[in-house]
Structure 1
Amino acid sequence: MAATLNCAGSITVNITGNGAVDGKGTLRCATPTTSYDGQLTLSGSVTSSSGLVYQTKTSDRLSIFSGSSGEIIDLSVNRRLEKLSDTASGNATERGTGLVIGGGPFGGAGETESGTGTFGTGMVTTFLITGNYILDLNG
């Protein structure tokens, strides 16, 4: 049976000129009974882009720890990153949906996430999602 896990914090998502995606985040997560420190890593690719919007598909790994115990949760995530202006930097939004891959207490859970932040464009387009970033797993 899958459990519920709610996380909040911030993530950084980098998109290279050739469409590779990577990123990381620091989160605070909780089930109804336990609180965890969390680290999120993601890697994948852009599946489409048009104008200000990047659609990506990533394989994410969420590592959560409480004291000496913890879990590693693998996720498959479809993520939409949107620049809110056609400038070198500005505000941005992020939304994602996905699934937990594998078993464990969260096996079979669905994943949703969203947040706001900023972007900067240079050799790499970087999204800093620091406002209201929430990641939820619900089975």
Structure 2
Amino acid sequence: MSVEVQVVREATDEVVEAIARLLPELSSTAGAPDEESVTRLLRSDANTLLMAGIDGRAVGMLTLIMYPLPSGLRGRIEDVVVDEAARGHGVGAALTEEALRLADAAGVRTVDLTSRPSRRAANRLYERLGFQARDSTVYRSVVRP
């Protein structure tokens, strides 16, 4: 079983369907995307959407965000999700490694991500790929409920 990772460049019906199918495994509160919201995501210069496939079927996705700050170009990985049936087959690793490769090629200094403690397998993966836990507190403000 070979995992293929590609940068998504267009909000095709297949891409919108794949995101709609995968997103509930990540968030029970995120609404199903439509073509317009996926197009908006892809048009942002800061975002790179990666989609992983096995045998032509999308089984995972990740969003890499790269943004300039006074301290240098930074990166962030968000919305990593792997189809439950495809877990344990290297999909998360393939997505994350490609994101790190793209960030490095763009000159990003650091890449951050967050992961809930309950996601033990994901946390082991991130540590295996060189991420280190930081002593930090994450704050969130809900702007639009």
Shorter-chain TM-score bucket reads 0.3 to 0.5
Q: Larger relative CO (CA 8 A, sep 6+): 1 or 2?
A: 1
**With structure 2 as the length reference, what TM-score do the two structures score?**
0.31
Which is richer in strand?
Answer: 1
**With structure 1 as the length reference, what TM-score do the two structures score?**
0.32
Which is richer in helix?
Answer: 2
